[in-house]
């Protein structure tokens, strides 16, 4: 039976243990929220979902329904089962971090996805061995034929979602991206909460 929806609070992270075979439905509750997503093998946290290994496996810039993301040991870890969001996600961009906001002109501390990953893992009394490049759900980074990239608002709508199946016992970690300088969370630049269901 699916769990009740679990909140990923606006600008914050949330992690959970997921058993092999369980599915995680990640809901873009308000429609324009990017959700940085990581997955680590429960048995060995140094094995984790890797964008650079996944791209080599699926031979796509963005996973599509049926694709399995791979770990740094090239094993399937999460399979995309459903996607009602419009299918635009990102595998190219690093999680935002203190350095990113400093470069964008922030002089005060700013919430960021890198710190959110660490905090969400600490809440489970575990530690990420590093900050892998995340699967940025709902994040819209178009590319041109010439390889030029840009940061654009999501195309997802309120309540749209993806479903990911765990291919091993794992820890999943999410961050509701606090980016409010670029329009990556919508032109209103208002980070919001998102939710997930495990079942």
Which one-letter DSSP state was computed for residue 90? B
Which of the ranges 17-25, 28-36, 128-136, 168-176 carries the binding residues for a second copy, by CB under 8 A?
128-136
Three-state DSSP class for residue 184: helix
CB of 122 to a second copy, least distance (A): 19
Indicate the residue among 4 and 59 with the shorter CB distance to a second copy. Answer: 59
Q: Which two tokens stand for residue 112?
A: 């960021």
Q: How far is CA 46 from CA 42, 132, 157, 167, in A?
A: 9, 10, 35, 16
Size of site (CB under 8 A) for a second copy? 33
Closest CA to 132 of 15, 14, 22, 53: 53
Interaction between residue 72 and a second copy (CB under 8 A)? yes
Indicate the residue among 93 and 164 with the shorter CB distance to a second copy. Answer: 93
| Distance between start and end Cα atoms, the chain | 6
Distance CA 175, CA 102 (A): 19
CB of 137 to a second copy, least distance (A): 16
Residue selected from 2, 3, 74, 122 as contacting a second copy according to rule CB under 8 A: 74
CB of 1 to a second copy, least distance (A): 36
Which one-letter DSSP state was computed for residue 143? B
Binding interface with a second copy (CB under 8 A):
50-53, 55-56, 59-62, 72-75, 92-94, 97, 99-100, 102-103, 129-131, 133, 143, 145, 147-151
């Amino acid at each position: 039976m699916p769990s009740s929806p679990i909140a990923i609070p606006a600008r914050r992270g949330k992690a959970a243990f997921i058993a092999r075979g369980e599915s995680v439905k990640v809901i873009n509750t308000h429609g324009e929220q990017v959700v940085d997503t990581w997955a680590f093998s429960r048995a060995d946290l140094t094995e984790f979902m890797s964008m650079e290994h996944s791209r080599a496996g699926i031979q796509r810039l963005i996973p599509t329904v049926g694709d399995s993301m791979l770990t740094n040991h090239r094993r399937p870890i999460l399979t995309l089962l459903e996607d009602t969001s419009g299918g635009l996600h990102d595998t190219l961009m690093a999680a935002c971090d203190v350095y990113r906001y400093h470069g964008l002109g922030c002089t005060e501390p700013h919430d960021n996805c890198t710190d959110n990953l660490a905090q969400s893992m600490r809440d489970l009394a575990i530690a990420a061995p590093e900050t892998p490049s995340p699967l940025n759900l709902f994040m819209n980074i178009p590319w041109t034929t010439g390889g030029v990239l840009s940061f654009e608002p999501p195309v997802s709508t309120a309540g749209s979602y993806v479903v990911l199946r765990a291919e091993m016992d794992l820890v999943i970690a999410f961050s509701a991206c606090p980016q409010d300088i670029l329009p990556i969370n919508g032109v209103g630049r208002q980070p919001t909460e998102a939710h997930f269901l495990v079942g």
